[in-house]
């Protein structure tokens, strides 16, 4: 007994110290007693650490990157040996997290929305295997495409996989939902999806922490065949998921994140999801909404609450950031003539991020306007940094291609995509990570030769290697330029999975050694580089050119760090 | 008291530092705060902006509604005009640097940009780069601008001085002093020109 008490005391002391150290580091963010000022991303990371996380797995992607970086910079995470290094891509991240969950520990996997496309296979199937240790998948959507190729809505994936989805309306909820999500995941043995948007990820607000808890101990699933998705077992598991789904709906009806507020004016009912709640509230300075209101933060949709809202009000306005997913669903729920308003009928624009003014217009409240922007205004798009190695690579490539008809450079996603803009106008495609090599191969297969792929080192290890293998196996006449700046620059300079091993990887895949050429993208080697690129373009098979020079932003960061340490 | 602020500039010009200083000062006053940043591609010279809201009452939206910002603080003249749709037409102040950051081929005629700024009913336009050099720290133009904006933020000037001491606490004493001087030169400019 005494030892138990002592242990409890120890534990409490440890927790207190943990909290204390954390607060010390973040004291400049301290509001009053114990509120921290955190980005939505940081709130999720801290929530995970406090909820007994054992590992975070991720590939960088705006606006999700700061979740993992927060854990990487956390002293608590280091002390407790929490896994937090970057994965090669979102699929490997998702699978590793599932493995950690299999072993009984709590795991989180984070990505930007398009990352969930890459991880879709393990994600959907993890709903069938189920989880053991708590498993949370965070997907960060980007309505208005601030820094993405599309504005796809991750909630559809959650619905598709039939897993519960949590969608915070504040940084505090983001924090709380992680604890709740891990509990939910362990209670029902199911992965839980947390869906955020850019605005939630990258906006700061006050967060109060709750108690910290220890990590799980290793423990395997009680049924060792749970994760064996042979058809006979998979059928059982799928039926189990369908059965459990009933409870997910019940949980949603009673969730602390879903709330029904009555209002005296029944001419309108408002259904509002996630961060849209804040834009709604902004329009009511006294924070009193005169209409019945259903706030959604947890899915599957709480059908009874929806029916109550619809039953109480003459019209329903549906407000959600992203695709009109709830709106589509509600239109199906509701019989008869009741008017549903939202993105489909033009009450709210069909695309793009919401804001307080969009809500004002939808509610028939006065819209507000500022001053006119003068006509002289011009855009200021991001550009390759002065001194960027990609500039020298594009200059050499452009010179070689000058003699040929345009339109033969298939590129990929990274800083180098900015080479599409003036003055380089060097590339003709950017679709999804890895698509450069495979598209160049397809075009070459069609007889379009020479055909060139331009891909960054991190994108290459993310999903370029398999495409290169296809090209080697088919002996496709493609020239693959792997821009090796030794980092994942676009998202802020994270480690790149293949640094120092790019040639070896190409050799291993089967590219002939004579056609793996490393060049130095510097002005003084321009002529030499032009010659090498020309030689390889003329080669009728797979060749790889690796322009290698570190990103100047990471060089600068490293130098400053070194200088600081010297002082 | 409630202030809605748009911070504008070009990636790398230090608008996040301005936000940190104001944010720290507001938190010391036990105010609520919401700050929305656009992260992502900022290191490559694109336009950047941040919504900063401070208030004694709880704040709802992360985004400031159009026409309701009390203040636009800009470290670059062209950028100061980009977000005018947020500025309150009846009460809003524009505080901006007049030294252009010209990294685009089609940068408009700077005279016209300045003329556009002069048309704003309530504005303070100053050469923050020059004042920063006078303060001995060419990199502190952002702090000069903050100083120039400080009379409109509803907080005592000392609060910003304290915040600078805190935010730059890991730096050498001389760096802190130069930034305090930059802050003061900006403040003096507004006091003399308002
Ligand atoms: C599936 C997917 N995951 C993540 C991203 C975000 N993202 C875009 S480019 C990039 C990395 C680019 O690194 P690299 O290929 O090395 O090029 P660099 O930016 O260094 O030039 C990342 C992580 C994305 N667009 N799609
Ligand atoms: S961050 Fe690095 S890779 Fe990206 S443009 Fe700048 S120098 Fe080039």
Say whether pLDDT at B71 is over 90: yes
Q: Do A316 and A270 contact (CB within 8 A), yes or no?
A: yes
Percent of chain A with pLDDT over 70: 93
Give dist(CA B6, CA B64) in Å, integer. Answer: 8
Give me the phi and psi of A135, to 5 degrees please.
Answer: -130, 120
Helix (H/G/I), strand (E/B), else coil: A529: helix
- What pLDDT is attached to residue A18? 40
Inter-chain touch A206–B32, beta carbons under 8 Å: yes
Q: Do B14 and B142 contact (CB within 8 A), yes or no?
A: yes
Of A2-11, A368-377, B58-67, least confident by mean pLDDT is A2-11
**Closest residue, chain B, to A284 (C-alpha):** B60
Give me the phi and psi of B173, to 5 degrees please.
Answer: -60, -40
- Phi-psi category of A56—alpha, beta or left, where left has phi over 0 and alpha has psi -120 to 50? beta
Say whether pLDDT at B30 is over 90: yes
Interface test with A, best of B12, B56, B61, B101 (most A CBs within 10 A): B61
The distance of A31 to chain B (nearest Cα, Å) reads 6
What interhelical angle do B173-193 and B141-149 show, nearest 10? 40
The b/e string for A16-42 (b: 16+ C-beta within 10 A; e otherwise) is eebbeebeeeeeebbbeeebbbbbbbb
Inter-chain touch A203–B34, beta carbons under 8 Å: yes
Helix (H/G/I), strand (E/B), else coil: A458: helix
- What pLDDT is attached to residue B40? 54
The distance of A232 to chain B (nearest Cα, Å) reads 46
Q: Is A414 in the pocket of ligand 1 (CB under 6 A)?
A: yes
- Residue ranges in A130-230 assigned as alpha helix (H): 155-161, 171-188, 198-201
Considering only CA atoms, which of B149, B66, B109 is closest in space to residue A370?
B66
The distance of A429 to chain B (nearest Cα, Å) reads 19
Q: What is the mean pLDDT of chain B?
A: 95
Q: Flag whether residue A114 sits within 8 Å of chain B, measured between CB atoms.
A: no
Q: Flag whether residue A378 sits within 8 Å of chain B, measured between CB atoms.
A: yes
Inter-chain touch B67–A383, beta carbons under 8 Å: no
Q: Flag whether residue A360 sits within 8 Å of chain B, measured between CB atoms.
A: yes
Where are the extended beta strands (E) located within A375-533? 409-410, 451-456, 478-483, 516-519
Domain A389-554 = CATH 3.40.50.300: no
Residues of chain A with CATH 3.40.50.920: 259-362
Beta-carbon contacts of A499 under 8 Å, excluding residues fewer than 6 positions away, are: A457, A484, A486, A487
Residues of chain A with CATH 3.40.50.970: 36-253, 389-554
A320-353 per-position pLDDT tens digit: 999 999 999 998 777 667 899 999 999 999 999 9
Q: Do A276 and A342 contact (CB within 8 A), yes or no?
A: no
Q: Which residues in chain A have Cβ-Cβ distances shorter than 8 Å to B109? A: 376
Give dist(CA A436, CA A409) in Å, integer. Answer: 8
Q: How confident is the model at residue A318 (pLDDT cuts 50, 70, 90)?
A: very high
What mean pLDDT comes out for the span B77-92? 98
- What pLDDT is attached to residue B12? 85
Q: Is the bond preceding residue A450 a cis peptide, omega within 30 degrees? A: yes
Give dist(CA A311, CA A294) in Å, integer. Answer: 12
Count other C-beta atoms under 10 Å from residue A559's C-beta: 10
Give dist(CA A266, CA A113) in Å, integer. Answer: 37
Say whether pLDDT at A104 is over 60: yes
Say whether pLDDT at A8 is over 90: no
Q: Flag whether residue A289 sits within 8 Å of chain B, measured between CB atoms.
A: no
**Closest residue, chain B, to A360 (C-alpha):** B65
Which of A32, A376, A381 faces B116 most closely, judged by CB atoms? A376
Taking the alpha carbons at both ends of chain A, their separation in whole angstroms is 52
A254-298 per-position pLDDT tens digit: 999 999 999 999 999 999 999 999 999 999 999 999 999 999 999
Inter-chain touch B108–A378, beta carbons under 8 Å: yes
Q: Which residues in chain A have Cβ-Cβ distances shorter than 8 Å to B61? A: 278-279, 281-282, 355-356
Beta-carbon contacts of B132 under 8 Å, excluding residues fewer than 6 positions away, are: B138, B139, B140, B141, B143, B144, B182, B185
Percent of chain A with pLDDT over 90: 89
- What pLDDT is attached to residue B166? 95
Q: Is A493 in the pocket of ligand 1 (CB under 6 A)?
A: no
A415-446 per-position pLDDT tens digit: 999 999 999 999 999 999 999 999 999 999 99
**Beta-bridge partner residues of A271:** A294, A318
The distance of A337 to chain B (nearest Cα, Å) reads 33
A184-223 per-position pLDDT tens digit: 999 999 999 999 999 999 999 999 999 999 999 999 999 9
Considering only CA atoms, which of A544, A466, A463 is closest in space to residue A507?
A544
Q: What is the dihedral of CA A468, A473, A476, A479, to 10 degrees?
A: 30
Cα–ligand 1 centroid distance for A455 (angstroms)? 10
A259-362: what fold?
Answer: Rossmann fold (3.40.50)
Considering only CA atoms, which of A174, A60, A55 is closest in space to residue A112?
A60
CA nearest ligand 2 atom 5, residue: A384
Count of domains observed in chain B: 1
Q: Which residues in chain B have Cβ-Cβ distances shorter than 8 Å to A355? A: 61, 63, 65
Say whether pLDDT at A566 is over 80: no
- What pLDDT is attached to residue B11? 87
Percent of chain B with pLDDT over 90: 92
Which of B27, B37, B65 faces A357 most closely, judged by CB atoms? B65
Considering only CA atoms, which of A492, A556, A560 is closest in space to residue A66?
A492
**Closest residue, chain A, to B50 (C-alpha):** A203
What mean pLDDT comes out for the span A470-488? 98
Q: Flag whether residue A384 sits within 8 Å of chain B, measured between CB atoms.
A: yes
Q: Which residues in chain A have Cβ-Cβ distances shorter than 8 Å to B112? A: 376
Q: What angle do CA A231, A234, A235 make, to 5 degrees?
A: 85
Give dist(CA A279, CA A158) in Å, integer. Answer: 24
Q: What angle do CA A24, A29, A34 make, to 5 degrees?
A: 70
In chain A, positions 502-521, which contact chain B (CB-CB < 8 Å)? none
Inter-chain touch A32–B89, beta carbons under 8 Å: no
Q: How confident is the model at residue B41 (pLDDT cuts 50, 70, 90)?
A: low
- What pLDDT is attached to residue B39? 61
Give dist(CA B77, CA B88) in Å, integer. Answer: 19
Inter-chain touch A279–B41, beta carbons under 8 Å: no
Cα–ligand 2 centroid distance for A488 (angstroms)? 9
Architecture of domain A36-253: 3-Layer(aba) Sandwich (3.40)
- What pLDDT is attached to residue A472? 98
Helix (H/G/I), strand (E/B), else coil: B18: helix
The b/e string for A401-419 (b: 16+ C-beta within 10 A; e otherwise) is beeeeeebbbbbbbbbbbb
Half-sphere exposure of A39 (CA within 13 A, CB side): 21
Q: Tell which atom from ligand 1 comes closest to the C-alpha of A463.
A: 1
Give dist(CA B94, CA B116) in Å, integer. Answer: 12
- What pLDDT is attached to residue B43? 62
Count other C-beta atoms under 10 Å from residue A294's C-beta: 25
What mean pLDDT comes out for the span A149-153? 96
Q: How confident is the model at residue A563 (pLDDT cuts 50, 70, 90)?
A: confident
Say whether pLDDT at A313 is over 90: yes
Q: Flag whether residue A146 sits within 8 Å of chain B, measured between CB atoms.
A: yes
Say whether pLDDT at A71 is over 60: yes
Inter-chain touch B36–A202, beta carbons under 8 Å: yes
Say whether pLDDT at A4 is over 70: no
Q: What angle do CA A205, A351, A147 make, to 5 degrees?
A: 60
Say whether pLDDT at A29 is over 50: no
Q: Give the domain range for residue B124.
A: 2-193
* Residue of A390, A392, A412, A493 to mutate, ligand 2, most atoms within 8 A of C-beta: A390
* DSSP structural state of residue A284: -
| Total beta-carbon pairs less than 8 A apart between chain A and chain B | 157
- What pLDDT is attached to residue B45? 83
- Phi-psi category of A502—alpha, beta or left, where left has phi over 0 and alpha has psi -120 to 50? alpha
Q: What is the mean pLDDT of chain A?
A: 93
Interface test with B, best of A382, A388, A551, A567 (most B CBs within 10 A): A382
Pocket around ligand 2 at a 6 A CB cut-off: A 384-385, 388, 390, 415, 485, 489, 551-553; B 43-44
B110-125 per-position pLDDT tens digit: 999 999 999 999 999 9
Give dist(CA A470, CA A511) in Å, integer. Answer: 11
Give the CATH number for residue B67: 3.40.920.10
Which of A372, A378, A383 faces B106 most closely, judged by CB atoms? A378
Largest CA distance in chain B: 45
Say whether pLDDT at A9 is over 80: no
Which of A147, A278, A357 faces B40 most closely, judged by CB atoms? A147
Interface test with B, best of A69, A204, A321, A370 (most B CBs within 10 A): A370
The distance of A283 to chain B (nearest Cα, Å) reads 9
């Amino acid at each position: 007994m005494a030892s138990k008490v002592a242990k409890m005391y120890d534990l409490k002391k440890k927790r207190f110290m943990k909290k204390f150290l954390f607060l010390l580091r973040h004291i400049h963010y301290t509001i009053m007693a114990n509120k921290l000022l955190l980005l939505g991303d940081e709130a999720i990371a801290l929530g995970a650490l406090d909820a007994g996380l054992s590992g975070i797995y991720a590939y960088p992607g705006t606006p999700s990157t700061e979740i993992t970086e927060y854990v990487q910079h956390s002293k608590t995470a280091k002390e407790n040996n929490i896994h937090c290094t970057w994965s090669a891509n979102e699929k490997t991240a998702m699978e590793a997290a599932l493995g950690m969950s299999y072993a009984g520990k709590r795991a989180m996997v984070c990505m930007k929305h398009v990352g969930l496309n890459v991880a879709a296979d393990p994600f959907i199937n993890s709903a069938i295997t189920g989880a053991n240790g708590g498993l949370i998948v965070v997907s960060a959507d980007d309505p208005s495409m601030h820094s993405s190729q599309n504005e796809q809505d991750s909630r559809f994936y959650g619905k598709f996989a039939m897993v519960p989805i949590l969608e915070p309306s504040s940084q505090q909820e983001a924090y709380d939902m992680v604890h709740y999500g891990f509990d939910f995941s362990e209670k029902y043995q199911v992965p839980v999806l947390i869906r955020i948007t850019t605005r939630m990820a990258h906006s700061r607000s006050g967060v109060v922490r709750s108690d910290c808890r220890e990590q799980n101990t290793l423990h395997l699933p009680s049924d060792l065949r749970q994760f064996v998705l042979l058809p006979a077992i998979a059928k059982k598991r799928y039926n189990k998921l369908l059965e459990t789904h009933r409870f997910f709906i019940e949980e949603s009806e009673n969730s602390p994140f879903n709330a029904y507020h009555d209002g005296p004016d029944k001419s309108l009912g408002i259904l509002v999801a996630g961060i849209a709640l804040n834009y709604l509230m902004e329009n009511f300075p006294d924070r009193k909404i005169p209409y019945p209101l259903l706030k959604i933060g947890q899915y599957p949709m709480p059908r009874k609450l929806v029916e109550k809202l619809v039953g109480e009000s003459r019209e329903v306005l549906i407000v959600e950031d992203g695709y009109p997913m709830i709106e589509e669903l509600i239109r199906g729920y509701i019989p008869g003539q009741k008017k549903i308003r939202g993105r489909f009928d033009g009450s709210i624009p069909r695309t793009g991020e919401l804001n307080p003014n969009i809500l004002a217009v939808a509610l028939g409240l006065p819209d507000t306007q500022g001053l006119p922007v003068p006509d002289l205004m011009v855009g200021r798009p991001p550009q390759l940094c002065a001194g960027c190695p990609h500039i020298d690579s594009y200059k050499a490539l452009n010179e070689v291609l000058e003699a040929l008809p345009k339109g033969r450079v298939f590129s990929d996603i990274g800083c180098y995509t900015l080479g599409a803009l003036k003055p380089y106008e060097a590339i003709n495609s950017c679709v999804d990570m890895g698509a450069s090599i495979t598209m160049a191969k397809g075009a070459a297969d069609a007889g379009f030769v020479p055909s060139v792929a331009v891909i960054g080192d991190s994108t290459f290890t993310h999903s370029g290697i398999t495409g290169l293998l296809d090209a080697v196996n088919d002996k496709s006449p493609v020239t693959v330029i792997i821009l090796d700046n030794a980092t994942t620059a676009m998202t802020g300079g994270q480690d790149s999975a293949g640094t120092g091993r790019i040639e070896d990887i190409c050799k291993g895949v089967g590219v002939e050694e004579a056609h793996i050429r490393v060049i130095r993208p510097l002005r003084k080697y321009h002529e030499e580089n032009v010659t090498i690129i020309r030689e390889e373009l003329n080669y009728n098979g797979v060749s790889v050119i690796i322009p290698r020079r570190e990103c100047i932003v990471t060089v600068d960061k490293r130098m400053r760090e070194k200088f600081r340490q010297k002082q | 008291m409630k202030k809605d602020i748009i911070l504008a500039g070009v990636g790398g010009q230090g608008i996040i530092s301005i936000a940190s200083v104001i944010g720290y000062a507001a938190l010391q006053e036990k105010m609520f705060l919401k700050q929305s940043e656009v992260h992502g591609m900022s290191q490559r010279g694109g336009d950047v902006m941040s919504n900063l809201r401070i208030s004694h009452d709880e704040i709802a939206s992360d985004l400031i509604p159009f026409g309701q910002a009390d203040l636009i603080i800009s470290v670059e003249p062209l950028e100061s005009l980009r977000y005018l749709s947020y500025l309150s037409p009846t009460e809003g102040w524009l505080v901006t640097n007049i030294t252009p950051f010209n990294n685009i081929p089609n940068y408009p005629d700077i005279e016209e940009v300045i003329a556009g700024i002069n048309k704003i009913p309530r504005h303070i336009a100053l050469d923050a780069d020059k004042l920063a050099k006078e303060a001995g720290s060419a990199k502190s133009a952002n702090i000069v601008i903050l100083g120039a904006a400080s009379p409109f933020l509803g907080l005592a000037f000392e609060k910003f001085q304290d915040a600078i001491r805190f935010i730059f606490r890991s730096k050498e004493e001389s760096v802190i002093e130069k930034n305090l001087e930059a802050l003061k030169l900006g403040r003096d400019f507004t006091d003399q020109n308002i």
